[in-house]
Amino acid sequence: MTNHRIRDDYQSVRKYSEDLCAPLETEDYIPQPVPFVSPPKWHLAHSTWFFETFILKQFKPGYQEYDPDFNYLFNSYYNNIGERTLRTDRGNVTRPTTKAVYAYRQHVDRCMVELLESEQDEHTLSLVTLGLHHEQQHQELLVTDIKYILGHNPLFPVYKENHNLLSGKNTDTGFLKISEGVYDIGFAGDGFCFDNELGRHKVFLHEFEISKSPVTTGEYIEFMNAGGYSDFNLWLDEGWSWVNENSIQSPMYWHKVKGEWHYYTLAGLQKVDPYAILGHVSYYEAAAFAQWKQMRLPTEFEWEIASVNLDWGQRWEWTNSAYLPYPGFSKAPGAVGEYNGKFMINQMVLRGASVATSPNHARRTYRNFFHAPERWQYTGIRLAK
């Protein structure tokens, strides 16, 4: 990829983060209501810090650190880079202000554009590309974290009218049959991918069938009405504890108002549309629903092979595969190697992409991963048998 192409990408990706924040009030940039949600201000600063730390400080001659405190404040989890704010304290950091963070972005953007207008070697460019994909990941988190902050406010404020990301509908029905065989799995090609997609390798798949479309809210309401949340036989043991300890009765963001199910959307509280694709379910709920249907979730390998013939991109779809290294996976030395490998335990793989995923960020080989109870992402269910 040429410098200029990357410079343009840089500018458009960076702008998109700010566009996502445009509807916010200053107050909305601050809180961290639960440890897994980060404040929007933090996302804006952290993705900037990434470029400053891994590109400007390394490759821009004479670059002066913008503010030494920012390294402490906006490092996320890179032990190789040093001490950082406790993850659970991000919501208490009122200074630098949001305005100051935007100024930090402008400064870094100016320096980055300068750098990208001069010739750079491939290693630098590949790190810039990584930084852009990194920022795109934070863009999806921005959407879901903003939704969490606004959606847990008793006033149910509107983020943007007509911005109900749950409204996508299924376009096809029935099951797709895939025949038995040895298949190739993992990224192949020239473009960008994350290290966890590499180590392309062969996997034997038995014949299976996979649903052409993800589960709708209407189908899920049938499960709820059939007592799905109170029949322990449907649940994983951990899932059953999760249901009971948290008094779970529905997907996240659902509220019963005057006897009817509503859900919070970025366009405000709305009546649940039974034809809409289900979102905001945990792995536990996905597994229980599949059990109730006497089917199962696909593995990530089945999903990858079938995906050639499926529409997708509405929801991150829980698979029945744990997030583990592919054969031959190895992590890069230093901080960049902390990107994916160290999280390969006790998480489940999700495949696809969601309505909140940034443009051009999806790939059939993309391996997303979350913990089983997490459901503030746009997570959904596709069945296999």
Query: 316-322 and 379-380 as β-strands: parallel, antiparallel, unpaired?
Result: parallel
Give yes or no for residue 204 binding its own copies (CB under 8 A): yes
Q: Choose the binding region for its own copies from 109-117, 160-168, 196-204, 248-256 (rule: CB under 8 A).
A: 196-204
Q: Give whichever of 277 and 288 is closer to its own copies, judged by the CB atom.
A: 288
Q: Give whichever of 30 and 112 is closer to its own copies, judged by the CB atom.
A: 30
Whole-number minimum distance, CB 25 to its own copies, in Å? 5
CA nearest to 315, candidates 351, 262, 343, 363: 351
Give yes or no for residue 343 binding its own copies (CB under 8 A): yes
Give yes or no for residue 162 binding its own copies (CB under 8 A): no
| Omega before residue 327 within 30° of 0, cis | no
Give yes or no for residue 58 binding its own copies (CB under 8 A): no
d(CA 300, CA 205): 11
CA nearest to 359, candidates 22, 13, 23, 15: 13
Q: Give whichever of 122 and 237 is closer to its own copies, judged by the CB atom.
A: 237
d(CA 2, CA 81): 29
Give yes or no for residue 96 binding its own copies (CB under 8 A): yes
How would DSSP label each residue in 244-298? HHTT--SSTTEEEETTEEEEEETTEEEEPPTTBBP-S--HHHHHHHHHHTT-BPP
Label residues 52-79 b or e (16+ Cβ within 10 Å = b): bbbbbeeebeebeebeeebbebbbbebe
Q: Give whichever of 1 and 100 is closer to its own copies, judged by the CB atom.
A: 100
Give yes or no for residue 27 binding its own copies (CB under 8 A): yes
Site for its own copies in 288-317 (CB under 8 A): 296
Of residues 54, 194, 283, 339, which one binds its own copies by CB under 8 A? 283
Q: Give whichever of 57 and 152 is closer to its own copies, judged by the CB atom.
A: 152
Whole-number minimum distance, CB 204 to its own copies, in Å? 4
Q: Give whichever of 12 and 92 is closer to its own copies, judged by the CB atom.
A: 92
Per-residue HEC secondary structure of 345-384 comes to CCCEEEEECCCCCCCCCCCCCCCEEECCCCCCCCEECCCE
String of contacts with its own copies for each residue 224-263, x by CB under 8 A: --------xx-xxxxxx-----------------------
Give yes or no for residue 344 binding its own copies (CB under 8 A): yes
Give yes or no for residue 80 binding its own copies (CB under 8 A): yes
CA nearest to 349, candidates 367, 365, 363: 367
String of contacts with its own copies for each residue 125-154, x by CB under 8 A: ------------------------xx-xxx
All residues at 6 or more sequence positions from 192 whose CB lies less than 8 Å from its CB, including other chains: 129, 130, 133
All residues at 6 or more sequence positions from 104 whose CB lies less than 8 Å from its CB, including other chains: 45, 48, 66, 67, 70, 96
How many residues make contact with its own copies (CB under 8 A)? 65
Is the Cβ–Cβ distance between 279 and 315 less than 8 Å?
Answer: yes
Is the Cβ–Cβ distance between 177 and 309 less than 8 Å?
Answer: no
Give yes or no for residue 327 binding its own copies (CB under 8 A): yes
For its own copies, the binding residues (CB under 8 A) are 25-31, 33, 41, 69, 72-73, 77, 79-80, 85, 89, 91-98, 149-150, 152-155, 157, 182, 201-204, 206, 208, 232-233, 235-240, 283-284, 287, 296, 320-322, 324-325, 327-328, 337, 342-346, 372
